[in-house]
Structure 1
Amino acid sequence: MEVLKLIIRNVFRHRLRSILTILGVAVAMLAFAILRTLVDAWYIGVESSSPDRLITRNKISLIYALPISYKNRIAQVPGVTGVEYGSWYGGVYKEKKNFFAQFAVSGSGYFNLYPEFLLTEDEKKAFDRDRNGAIAGKTIAERFGWKIGDVIPLQGTIYPGSIELVLKGIYTGARKSVDQTAFFFRYEYLNEVLKKTNPDRADKVGWYLVKINDPQRSAEITEEIDSLFKNSLAETLTETEKAFQMGFVAMTEAIVAAVRIISMVVIAIILIVLANTMAMTTRERWAEYAVFKTLGFRPRFLFLLIAGESVAISLIGGMLGAALSFPGGRMFQKQLESFLPVFEVNYSTILIILIVSLAVGFIAALIPAIRVGRMGIAEGLRHIG
């Protein structure tokens, strides 16, 4: 108990230095939390993938389309329980800065294969009833203030011309990790426009979403689907939804690796800062530690005193940084909402921050504590610091 009192007094003995060091640790831990959450957000699509969903796309690249006639043939493969299709639209809503994911899909059946997208039956029926119907995620609807019945114009980029859509439903996520920033409309409506403006691109879709009854047979089913279109003008590549999502992550793997390295650099920097603070503190109290030795206190006690002070400063800063990570994460997501639809600091990150804070505090105190332990009494009493 006496040792704890001494540690607390020492922490705030030089208040300005301690406060600045604590703030430095807090800012570093906040940055660490944001960077770690950024990596987690990058993989959210992979983690949210369902093992009973497959994606069939053009074997050459996703940018090449597949004939719409493939749907019936895929549906006849044993083990397939549902097939829907979709295409990336990539239009502009009012201004180019208003970016959000837009998909032309086969109909409400597409949402039946995504049970994590929550829609009422009335919304699904309304979506199927009107060819220019649209469904938006709750987050994107709130962002633009959309309500059911609103007309939403989109200016085409990949596809020429413009389209006008009527919002028929707003979906929510069954869990927090579900993307609520996507926008869906009927492919049938887009296809009608293409038949008039660009017939060569009509009756072609970007991918097929395939539901299977047994995830254990996914490899067998993917091979059977691809064999149907072998040596055709549009060969297919079928893979699990997780593998499909990993393909996108792999394209930015260098960025993810750089973010991870930066997060480690942040920890290294705060370790150096805290170690410098403890070295300065130890030099100032060199004579005091010599007096402790004169009174019979063993090096173990002095090590505990120094390490306790360092760990206390680091842990207070870490706790402050952890507390700031929640509002900080929300502010960060708000700035990049279109690119990071799911960005939530989880409790495992908070736990890592606390563990890292303890480790940094202990490591920063090692060299000063070892020097004090080896210090001679006469040497310490002579010291002027």
Structure 2
Amino acid sequence: MQRLKLILRNALRHKLRSALTVVGIVIATLAFGFLQTVVKAWYAGANAASNTTLITRNAVSLVFPLPLSYAAKIRAIDGVERVAWANWFGGVYQAPKNFFPQLAVSGESYLEIYTDFVLPPEQHKAFLRDRKGAIIGRKLADQYHFRIGDVIPLRGTIFPGQWDFVVRGIYDGRTPSTVTTQMFFHWDYLNETLLKTTPRRANQVGVYVVQIARADQAPEVSAAIDATFKNSLAETLTETEKAFQLSFVSMSDAIVVAIRLVSYVVILIIMAVMANTMAMSARERLSEYATLKALGFGPLFVGSLIVGESLLLSGAGGLLGIALLYPAAVAFAARMGTLFPVFEVAPLTVLMQAAAAIAVGVVAAIAPAVRAIRVNIVDGLRSVA
């Protein structure tokens, strides 16, 4: 207890210096946690991908479609349980800045695969009955204040023209990692319109979504699907949903790496600042440490005072940084809208913040503690505080 009192008094001896040090640690741990959360949000789609879902696309590029006739052939392959399909729509709502993902999907078969989209039964039925019906995620509905029955006008880019969709359902996520910033509408409605306007673009699919029974079947089923369409006019590339999502993330690998590096650099900088603070404090108290030794206190007791003070300051700053991360993440997610569909602070991120704060406190105290432990009593008493 006496040791704790000494540590607390030492920490509060220079209140301004201690306060500035704590503020620096708060900013550093907050920035570290925030940047790590950004990185995790970047990988949110891939991390939430199912191990029993495969994506089949054109082997040349995602921009080239596949024939609708492939659906029956894929469904006939051993190990395949369900087949659905989707087209990226890419429409604009009111202004180009109002971007959110829109997918034309194969109705019931698509929703049967993605069971993480929780939709009330009556809304589910209303969507299936209405050819122009659409379902949207809760976060998207909250951002644009969409309600059931609202008409969403979209200006087509990939599929030109004015398209109107009626909100028939608002889905929630089964888990916090479920993306609720998307809009889904009937692929049949898109296809029927294309048959009238541009028939050569009709009966074509962007990707096939294939559900298999077991995750260990993925390599075998993927190879079988691609072998089925080998040497055809539209060869396929089948991969797991996670690999498909990671292919998009890999396009921005340099940004992700830079964010990671910056987060660690921030911790290194505050570690240097903290080390300087503790070195100044220890240098000012050499005579006090020498006096403690003269009174019979051992070197470890003296060293523990410095380590304890350093951990106290870094711990206080770390706790405040962790506490501030949650409201900061909520505010950032609200500001970014659909840019980051999932932006939540993970428990691992909090543990990394706490570990970083402890590491700063320990490393910053090593050199001053060693110096205090080794100080000669006579030389220490001669020093001027």
Q: TM-score range by the shorter chain?
A: over 0.9
| Cα displacement string for residues 140-162 of structure 1 (whole angstroms, at most 9, x for unaligned residues) | 00111111100000111222112
| Structure 1: 4+ residue segments shifted above 6 A | none
Question: Hey, what does 1:110 align to over in structure 2?
Answer: 110
- CA separation in 1, counterparts of 2:349 and 2:158? 39
1:281-360 counterparts in 2 under 5 A?
Answer: 281-360=281-360
TM-superposed deviation, 1:217: 1.7
- CA separation in 2, counterparts of 1:73 and 1:56? 12
Question: Hey, what does 2:2 align to over in structure 1?
Answer: 2
Long gaps (5+) in structure 1:
none
Structure 1 letter corresponding to 2:149: G
Long gaps (5+) in structure 2:
none
| Cα displacement string for residues 233-287 of structure 1 (whole angstroms, at most 9, x for unaligned residues) | 1100111112211212222222221111111101101101111111111122222
- CA separation in 2, counterparts of 1:161 and 1:377? 87
Structure 1 letter corresponding to 2:136: A
Structure 1 letter corresponding to 2:254: A
Structure 1 letter corresponding to 2:281: T
1:104-253 counterparts in 2 under 5 A?
Answer: 104-253=104-253
User: Counterpart of 2:95 in 1: which secondary structure?
Assistant: coil
| Cα displacement string for residues 83-137 of structure 1 (whole angstroms, at most 9, x for unaligned residues) | 1110111111111111111111111321111111111332222222221110000
Q: Percent identity?
A: 50
When structure 1 is superposed on structure 2, of 101-110 and 119-128 the one drifting more is 119-128
Contact 2:65-2:204 within 8 A present in 1 as well: yes
Contact 1:138-1:180 within 8 A present in 2 as well: yes
Contact 2:57-2:66 within 8 A present in 1 as well: yes
When structure 1 is superposed on structure 2, of 60-69 and 132-141 the one drifting more is 60-69
TM-superposed deviation, 1:14: 1.0
User: Counterpart of 1:185 in 2: which secondary structure?
Assistant: strand
TM-superposed deviation, 1:298: 2.1
TM-score, scaled to structure 1: 0.97
- CA separation in 2, counterparts of 1:384 and 1:214? 74
- CA separation in 2, counterparts of 1:66 and 1:244? 16
Structure 1 letter corresponding to 2:223: E
- CA separation in 2, counterparts of 1:217 and 1:285? 67
When structure 1 is superposed on structure 2, of 162-171 and 210-219 the one drifting more is 210-219
Contact 2:77-2:221 within 8 A present in 1 as well: yes
Structure 2 letter corresponding to 1:69: S
User: Counterpart of 2:196 in 1: which secondary structure?
Assistant: helix
TM-superposed deviation, 1:296: 2.4
Question: Hey, what does 1:381 align to over in structure 2?
Answer: 381
TM-superposed deviation, 1:317: 0.4
Structure 1 letter corresponding to 2:253: E
TM-superposed deviation, 1:197: 3.3
Contact 2:51-2:241 within 8 A present in 1 as well: yes
Structure 1 letter corresponding to 2:251: M
Question: Hey, what does 2:66 align to over in structure 1?
Answer: 66
- CA separation in 1, counterparts of 2:276 and 2:265? 17
User: Counterpart of 1:99 in 2: which secondary structure?
Assistant: coil
Structure 2 letter corresponding to 1:194: L
Structure 2 letter corresponding to 1:307: V
Structure 1 letter corresponding to 2:120: T
TM-superposed deviation, 1:353: 1.6
User: Counterpart of 1:162 in 2: which secondary structure?
Assistant: strand
TM-score, scaled to structure 2: 0.97
- CA separation in 1, counterparts of 2:53 and 2:350? 33
Structure 1 letter corresponding to 2:306: I
Contact 2:143-2:337 within 8 A present in 1 as well: no
What RMSD, in angstroms, separates the aligned Cα atoms of the two structures?
Answer: 1.4
